[in-house]
Amino acid sequence: MTPAVRIGKRSLFAILATTIVGIVAFGWPLIASPESDAVAHSTDAPWLFVIVVPLLLAVVLAQFTDGGMDAKAIAVLGVLAAVVSALRPLGGGTAGLEPIWVILVLGGRALGPGFGFSLGAVSLFSSALLTGGVGPWLPFQMLGAAWVGLGAGLLPKATGRTEIYLLAAYGAVAAFAYGLLLNLWFWPFTAGLPSAIAFVPGAPLAENFSAWLHFTVLTSLGYDIPRAILTVVLIFAAGPTILTALRRVSRKARFGAIPTFESVTP
């Protein structure tokens, strides 16, 4: 089945550039030298936002220039982003009960990794505007969601119940990974933490990595576990129906089809 967004050379470069910037933005405190001054993301995130958002937009523009995204793909992207924006206030982050992840996972799976990446970034941005969730955390949320959608599209081929089990397992892992990753944007700069879970500038990577994991276990598992459980339940309950609907849309839309014109002899 033809993906809704074909990843060409320009879009692949844009995705890789965004991913590299994202990895540096998340992980630089862990590899910073002892002589460097740790600056809280509350001050550098606006600059990161200035860098990341154009890069994410560059992904979409690159897909246009590559011929990878047509009007039909944009329409489907808009509809699913609107669904995510409507679902996000229902959970509001309460105890991690966020139903949006099932849309990102199934959308990326059914319509391809390029579409999943775009859906994650666009939907988190639009839902933040709707819910008033714009802040220094938003670039990190957009990147995390984009990677979740991209990963769903890169999963190996499977069909039937095997595919649902695969997506459920991926959804659970992605839910935990998203929470673990998002902790990095603020954990190194949180003051007053016990030494066992505190970030120590210049400490060995293994020591800070262990503290990061302990911090996640003690502070965010109460959100990550419900997020994972809800995602798995929704994938088992609605996954087959949503996948069938999205794939039917993909077949009807015939993404990437090139129209041909023939002369008709009167």
CA distance 191 to 256: 51
Residue 153: pLDDT over 90? yes
Lowest mean pLDDT among 43-52, 165-174, 214-223: 43-52
pLDDT confidence band for 263 (50 / 70 / 90): low
Q: Where are the alpha helices (DSSP H) in 32-96?
A: 41-65, 71-91
Mean pLDDT of 104-125: 91
Q: Which residues contact residue 227 at a Cβ distance below 8 angstroms, ignoring those fewer than 6 apart? A: 96, 97, 98, 101, 175, 178, 179
Q: Stretch 216-239: mean pLDDT, rounded?
A: 92
Domains of the chain, by residue range, sit at 9-253
pTM value surpassing 0.95: no
Q: Which residue has the higher pLDDT, 92 or 26?
A: 26
Question: Are 25 and 52 spatial neighbours (Cβ–Cβ below 8 Å)?
Answer: yes
Is residue 90 packed enough to be buried (19+ CB in 10 Å), middle (13-18) or exposed (0-12)?
exposed
pLDDT at 39: 47
Tokens of 76: 């489907």
Judged against a pLDDT cut of 60, whether residue 246 lies above it is answered with yes
Amino acid identity of residue 199, one-letter, is: F
Q: Do residues 174 and 151 lie in contact, with contact meaning Cβ atoms separated by under 8 Å?
A: yes
Sign, CA dihedral 46-93-155-83, equals negative
Residue 32 corresponds to which amino acid?
A
In terms of average pLDDT, the best of 60-64, 111-115, 148-152, 180-184 is: 148-152
115: nearest Cα among 257, 253, 7, 251: 7
| pLDDT score at 215 | 93
- The number of CA neighbours under 13 Å toward the Cβ of 28 is 16
Q: Inform me whether the pLDDT recorded for 34 exceeds 80.
A: no
Residue of 151, 159, 60, 157 lying closest to 113 (CA atoms): 151
Q: Region 17-42: what's the mean pLDDT? A: 70
Question: Based on C-alpha coordinates, what's the Rg of the chain?
Answer: 20
Distance CA 147, CA 16 (A): 11
Q: How many CB atoms lie within 10 A of CB 258?
A: 6
- pLDDT for 30 equals 77
